[in-house]
Amino acid sequence: MNKKYVVRLTDEERKCCDSTIDKLVGKSQKARRARILRQVDADGPNWTDRQVAAAFRCRIRTVENTRRSCVLEGFEQALQGRQRSAPPVPKLLDGEQEAQLIALRLGAPPEGYSSWSLRLLARQVVELGIVSSISHETARQTLKKTGLQATRSSTG
């Protein structure tokens, strides 16, 4: 069966694939793509998609997508993969809101509390109108990035 997207690698591209495979440079997906491209090369081994999928324990569709990406978008794009333009979940807090949360955490806790808890912080941030809603997990992740602990830890 004739393939719609025929990959023909240059000598330089083959060397790039080989060095990526040998040195395992970058992510594991990059190494997998390099192996796939090396094997589907029409001027090289010219394996079928089914052979490549079986050899590298991936789906046939993965091989087809890598082949198509190489032909349509170029070798470098096929090897590196697509970069997301935005994160899968947008950030809930911007820089100013994060700074206000951190400042609140560094201040004294409200009356009746001996220390800040994550849930108390999240509730206070909403009450102060910094954000319309926030979970304690978002507060934890924000504080974790700065190295601040929300509560005192006990070793026993």
Same domain, 72 and 99: no
Q: Give the model confidence (pLDDT) of 78-114 as tens digits.
A: 999 988 888 888 888 999 999 999 999 999 999 999 9
Same domain, 16 and 75: yes
Range of the domain at 132: 95-146
Question: Angle 62-88-144 (CA atoms, 0-180°, nearest 5)?
Answer: 125
Same domain, 102 and 136: yes
Same domain, 53 and 106: no
Q: Is residue 152 part of a domain?
A: no
Q: Is residue 6 part of a domain?
A: no
Percent of the chain with pLDDT over 70: 94
Task: Out of 53, 80, 107, pick the residue that ends a domain.
Answer: 80
Rounded to whole angstroms, the Cα distance separating 7 from 3 reads 9
| pLDDT of 156 strictly over 60 | no
Task: Out of 25, 49, 80, pick the residue that ends a domain.
Answer: 80
Same domain, 24 and 74: yes
Q: Give the model confidence (pLDDT) of 38-86 as tens digits.
A: 999 999 999 999 999 999 999 999 999 999 999 999 999 999 998 888 8
125, 131 in Cβ contact below 8 A?
yes
**How many domains is the chain partitioned into structurally?**
2
Q: Is residue 89 part of a domain?
A: no
Task: Out of 80, 105, 126, pick the residue that ends a domain.
Answer: 80
What DSSP designation does 2 have?
Answer: -
Same domain, 103 and 68: no
Closest CA relative to residue 110, chosen from 100, 98, 123, 97:
123
Same domain, 111 and 68: no
Q: Is residue 129 part of a domain?
A: yes
Q: Give the model confidence (pLDDT) of 3-35 as tens digits.
A: 789 999 999 999 999 999 998 877 899 999 999
Rounded to whole angstroms, the Cα distance separating 149 from 100 reads 16
Same domain, 76 and 99: no
